[in-house]
Chains A and B, each alone.
Chain A
Amino acid sequence: MSQEYPIRIYKRPELRQSCLVLGWGGDIGNLGWKVTDYLNWRLKGEEFAEIEPEDFFYLGGVAIEDNLARFPESRFHVCQEYELVVFQSVSPGMQWYKFLNAVLDVAERHCQTKELYILGTMVSFRAHTAPRELLAVVNSAEMKEVLSRYDLAGDMDYETQPGERPTLNSFLLWIAKGRNIPGVSLWVPIPFYLTAMEDAQAEKKVLGFLNERLNLKIDFSDLDRRIREQNEQLARARSRFPQIDDHISRLESNLMLSQEENGELIKKIEDFLREGG
């Protein structure tokens, strides 16, 4: 094991030209964590490094989630056969520049990383029956050209609005640009009433793109089954509760719900899915 504070390397991966996929825990629908977990599971990712937490997280105790004590983790996995590095972490609470540079230090110095894929989510006010989109923001015109042959919405114009701040993903993409690492920040919109649960379709959208782009050859039949099950659960919710059906039907007709109706829909769907649907 070697120490290059704040990085701890357990094993040196043998990579020639890798891609780094990065997902955050605790984002909308916990999608970043789920997608990176899935990649590690299916591609037999092996943990080889981590970032020490003390400079980046408040360590005044532990958080409890789903009955379990949680501790901030920032771990690197390698899927050797696919020249793929997977980084999973909770978003740091401070010293972001140092943290993001530590991630790219591991990628560049130990993994010969040539491309960066950053996972993100956003809230959508469309129904779950609408196809999921995948939005992309790149850090170079060359990367845009490379990705133009994929099913991505990549012509977005955006400027930070008053009271808002850029995302950590944008910060990382900008630092990668400074290091001449081509990168893309991927954004998948998740229907607002699924954000606290999961959205298997959104996961599939991101994984499908990565599968194609990185030539991972993953068979998604297990994920397709989860999507079917989730859609069936939501269909049962619609048939049992006319109010849910009414709200979702209006979303399907591109109508907006009131704030109160949004809240009702979220609560009813979450209660229904938690009870096992």
Chain B
Amino acid sequence: MKADLGSAMGIRFHQKPQLENPILIASWPGIGNIGIIAVDTLRAVLEAEELGEIEPWDFFYPRRILIRKGILEYLEFPSSKFYFKRIEGNDIVFFIGEEQPSEGGRVYAQGRKAYQMANLVLDVAEEFECRRVYTSGAAVALTHHTVKPRVWAVPNSESLIPEIKGYDNTVLMSDIEGRGGQGNITGLNGLLLGVAKKRGFEGVCLMGEIPVYLQGLPLSYPRASSSVLEVLTRSLRINVNLDKLDELDRNVQQRIEDFYQQIPLEIRGQLDRLRQVSYAQPAEPGPITEEEEKRIIEDIEKFFKKRGGGG
């Protein structure tokens, strides 16, 4: 059943194709833009066609104005667009939100607007009879930027756990040391998964790991987007060329390395130990003890406070 969303908000379709057995993949910006880079890369590589969009004005403050010769020509809002791609009976609907609808300057959506946005996205999933919903975001982890990021997978149904256990380089929350299967996915990348459950869609959120010391930097982290895409494309049984994402990763890694060299030697020494963390057997304790882990996080926080931000 469609949620009561009021008359002021709606979805504008550019076309309504017949889709076969589709899934929905959705993402909004978040830490390191890991999810949105993954989803948008897949959309671009597959050359997905534009399907429609959510009308923006009730969700967003405008972001750009153009005045010519004293006349207001137009106001531009962040876009929230749907795309589709036919793939031999396993079609894909994409949703890409340029911003999370937030109130009062918050970065991540919450409250009524977020719930309305999540419901609108799922209205489209319902319209096209999508069988599953994927979202994607970031998992802040005690890892190093030279280590291949893992993917933390959170399903919204018990029945999906065996499937997820079969994915490469992927962990469930219960596999993360000290988490006990608990956690929180902030913003719409998480909320959509919950609302999907409420409305009877099965769903999975795939979160690429980002090192704890990079979470506050104004940098994307495409290395983790690659990890997410590897899992996603295998799960969907499609092959895509990710050369452009690899190139972006090389550029970003260089900037991260430049930043890393600015970190005081003492803290960097602690962080360097994260290079040795091996996830071959994720349930086993790594080479860093709980005490050391705590100290590393404290040192990083002190460093960012001293730098005057970064968080």
Contacts and interface: CB of A to CB of B under 8 A. Distances in A.
Contacts, number: 72
Given A94-B103, A139-B72, A156 B67 contact: yes
A25 B64 CA distance: 24
A136 B64 contact: no
Contact of A157 (B57, B62, B67, B75): B67
A160 interface: yes
A66 interface: no
B72 A138 contact: yes
Interface in A155-179: 155-160, 165-166, 170-171, 173-174, 177
Interface string B21-47: 000000000000000000000000000
Interface string B59-83: 0011111111111101100000000
A231 to B, nearest CB: 30
A94 B58 CA distance: 10
Q: Is the interface of A mostly helix, strand, loop or mixed?
A: mixed
A154 interface: yes
A93 B70 contact: no
B8 A139 contact: no
The 4 A-B pairs with the shortest beta carbon distances in the complex, nearest first, are A154-B70, A166-B65, A94-B103, A158-B67
A144 B69 CA distance: 10
Contact of A137 (B58, B62, B71): B71
Nearest to A58: B104
Given A97-B57, A166-B75, A136 B65 contact: no
A162 B70 CA distance: 21
16 contacts: A58-B104, A93-B103, A93-B104, A95-B58, A137-B71, A140-B71, A144-B69, A157-B68, A158-B67, A160-B63, A160-B66, A165-B63, A166-B61, A166-B64, A174-B62, A174-B74
A185 B74 CA distance: 14
A146 interface: no
A130 interface: no
Interface residues of A, number: 30
Contacts of B103: 93-95
Interface centre among B65, B68, B74, B75 (most CB of A within 10 A): B65
Interface in A87-110: 93-98, 101
A135 B66 CA distance: 16
B107 to A, nearest CB: 15
Contacts of B61: 96, 165-166, 171
A139 B71 contact: yes
Most buried by A among B63, B64, B70, B104: B70
A24 to B, nearest CB: 15
B108 to A, nearest CB: 15
Nearest to A176: B72
Interface of A: 58, 93-98, 101, 136-141, 144, 154-160, 165-166, 170-171, 173-174, 177, 185
A155 B67 CA distance: 9
Interface of B: 8, 57-58, 61-72, 74-75, 103-104
Contacts of A96: 61
A50 B25 CA distance: 44
Given A165-B62, A170-B65, A170-B72, 11 more contacts: A97-B57, A154-B70, A155-B70, A158-B65, A159-B65, A159-B66, A160-B64, A160-B65, A160-B66, A170-B75, A174-B75
A171 B72 contact: no
Nearest to B102: A94
A94 B72 contact: no
A101 B8 CA distance: 10
Contacts of B66: 158-160
A137 B64 contact: no
B62 A171 contact: yes
Given A94-B103, A165-B62, A166-B63, A157 B69 contact: yes
A209 to B, nearest CB: 15
A252 to B, nearest CB: 28
B309 to A, nearest CB: 15
Contacts of B62: 165-166, 170-171, 174
A136 B67 CA distance: 11
Contact of B58 (A97, A136, A144): A97
A144 B70 contact: yes
Contacts of B64: 159-160, 166
B15 to A, nearest CB: 25
A158 B74 CA distance: 11
Residue from B57, B67, B104 having most chain A Cβ neighbours under 10 A? B67
A137 B65 CA distance: 12
A75 B63 CA distance: 28
A144 B73 CA distance: 13
A89 to B, nearest CB: 17
Contacts of B71: 137-141, 144
A157 to B, nearest CB: 6
